Chains A and B, each alone.
Chain A
Amino acid sequence: MVPLPFFLPFAELEVGQHLYWQVGGYQIHGQVFLSSWLVIGALLALVVAGTRKLERDPRGVQNLLEFIWGYLRDLSREQIGEKAYRDWLPFIGTLFLFIFVSNWGGALVPWKLIHLPSGELGAPTADINTTIALALLVSLAYFYAGLSRKGFRYFEYYVEPTPIMLPFKIVEDFTKPLSLSFRLFGNILADELVVAVLAFLVPLIVPLPAMFLGLFTSAIQALIFATLAAYYIGEAVHEEHH
């Protein structure tokens, strides 16, 4: 690294470096798991604090949880449809909450204060492994949703409205997880990089607008991922009305 006239501990850039752990002969990215455990811990703490005493007249955190629940229910009901949304609400909701808290955690928590031997902590969703894992789960989910609801009639979807669509629909099955994972990964990583580069160049004030934009993008990306996941599942369980 080029020596700088001044040194700032918060403004180093490390991209593509990972904290490797060995698990049974396989390598995993330790920093992703560390931050994801923090995210999951925060989520569970919020949920446990809010649902310890559920009342008919909500108070405190229960209001927030009910708002989130209603928001996610509306999202999945709108995309999946009245009949099947109940089965998929937990999955869609978990995707949304996990991605949202990951993104915001990556943007808001001063991870640099925790020093790792290699790599750095950040949003778990800024790692391609996480986003591909989530996207593949969505693929599995919509296949499972379609097959369990319609059996082999699910494959009619590939030739509707006309068999000419068959190759496109098959390609879609590959592009869906690809676009889902790369969209999320790219947005979150780009946001972290922009903020990091700006903080590296001008450590004061200038990164703030980019940080706010980052918060906005993070929320939007969580919403987009959850909405698209719900839409794919909805597409798979959709019954054609002849």
Chain B
Amino acid sequence: MTSWLLLAAAGAPEGGLFDLDATLPLMAVQVVILTFILNALFFRPVGKTVEERESYISTSRAEAKQQLAQTERLEADLRHQLREARQQAQTLIVDAEQEMDRLYRSALAEAQAEANASRESARREIDSQRQQAEDTLNGEADRLGDLIVTRLLAVQ
């Protein structure tokens, strides 16, 4: 039980806790060599992989962002085109309606004018025929009256 305490305290020429010897430089060399080996086997390749992945992710992100922006631009463009097309269609419809209205009105007016004209001419025809008939009737009546008068006077 006491032997290890004695050893720790004594620092005997052979052994002891603070026994410095050639272990020190050899261990240092060993750690330096380990540093180079780990650098070649671990730090460089893993760092390369991680950094490649990071750059891959960042470029993919940038690309995706760019594509998103492009899509948004296209969408806005198409939206604009759509609105214009709608407006055009609207004006076309309005134009067509107006045109139709105008045509309808003109056709209606024409038809009315024609109807009026034909009614007028018919009325005039009727009037002239009635006048003619009246004239003929009046002439006939006059003639008959004259005849009656002539006959009566002849009898007497």
Contact = CB atoms under 8 A, between A and B. Distances in A.
Interface of A: 1-2, 13-18, 20, 23, 26-29, 32-33, 36, 40, 43-44, 47-48, 50-51, 54-56, 58, 62, 65-66, 69-70, 73, 89-91, 93-95, 97-98, 124, 127-130, 132-134, 136-137, 189
Interface of B: 1-4, 7-8, 11-12, 14-28, 30-32, 34-39, 41-47, 49-50, 52-53, 56
A16 B42 contact: no
A33 B31 contact: no
A65 to B, nearest CB: 5
Query: Taking each of B24, B26, B36, B37, which has the highest tally of chain A beta carbons within 10 Å of its own beta carbon?
Result: B24
B45 A54 contact: yes
A124 B34 CA distance: 15
11 contacts: A27-B21, A27-B22, A33-B27, A54-B49, A56-B52, A56-B53, A66-B50, A73-B47, A90-B44, A133-B23, A137-B32
Where chain A touches its partner, the secondary structure class is helix
B41 A32 contact: no
A58 to B, nearest CB: 8
Contacts of A65: 42, 46
A47 B41 CA distance: 7
B93 to A, nearest CB: 58
Query: Taking each of A44, A94, A136, which has the highest tally of chain B beta carbons within 10 Å of its own beta carbon?
Result: A94
A136 B36 CA distance: 17
B22 A16 contact: no
Contacts of A66: 46, 49-50
Contacts of B3: 1
Given A16-B7, A27-B22, A69-B46, A91 B27 contact: no
Contact of B17 (A27, A48, A73, A189): A189
Contacts of A129: 19-21, 23-24, 27
A137 B38 contact: no
A98 B4 contact: no
Contact of A15 (B8, B31, B37, B38): B8
Nearest to A97: B38
A144 B113 CA distance: 114
B26 A28 contact: yes
Contact of A93 (B25, B43, B49, B50): B43
B38 A47 contact: yes
Contacts of B11: 16
Given A94-B38, A128-B20, A33 B8 contact: no
Contacts of B56: 56
A40 B30 contact: yes
B4 A15 contact: yes
Given A29-B21, A33-B30, A56-B49, 8 more contacts: A2-B1, A23-B26, A26-B22, A27-B22, A33-B27, A50-B42, A132-B24, A137-B28
B18 to A, nearest CB: 5
B29 to A, nearest CB: 9
A50 B31 CA distance: 21
Contacts of A124: 27
B42 A47 contact: yes
Contacts of B1: 1-2
Nearest to B56: A56
Nearest to B25: A133
Nearest to B10: A16
B8 A16 contact: yes
A128 B42 contact: no
